[in-house]
Amino acid sequence: MSDNKQLVLAWFQARPSSEEGRAMLSEDFVWHMPRGMAAMMNDGDPDVHGPDALLHLSAIDKAVYADGDTTFEMTFIIGEGDFVAVQAEIGAKSHEGDDYLNRYVFSFRCRDGKIAEVWENVDTKYWCDTIIGRPEQLEAVNQRIAQIRAEAN
């Protein structure tokens, strides 16, 4: 198995937002989220910068999913050179108790033994329909995200 595939596997096992997980990221790390989610998650910017970006994304998970808990089942991992791709099934519950299970593909660019970039690809329509599809869901998620932003400032 390539060193970069091992790095990505170790990163998932460490939990990406953990101190250990963030130590596996380059200082100029960038997470590229789906544009359809960027308006809600990151004030419209699809790119989240720096290792501490994972703390921001973890906080958003708490606003979006009940208790911020998700399940993660890797389907496959492939890699060549600096690039690694992972397909996984991620599940959660909305705060209203709706089940969510979606297929994600994460593409990684590694550099000098660190993860430099991640591109997140997911069915955003299904995510929106399940997590924020009803007006009361959207309002509640927006309120929780506003609270997270206020606490961060």
Cα separation, 7 vs 106, in Å, equals 14
Domain residues for the domain of 93 are 3-152
Cα separation of 79 and 59, whole Å? 29
CATH number (domain holding residue 36): 3.10.450.50
Give tens-digit pLDDT for 99-132: 999 999 999 999 999 999 999 999 999 988 888 8
- How sure is the predictor about 56, in pLDDT bands with cuts at 50, 70 and 90? confident
Phi, psi (rounded to 5 degrees) for 148: -60, -45
Domain tally, the chain: 1
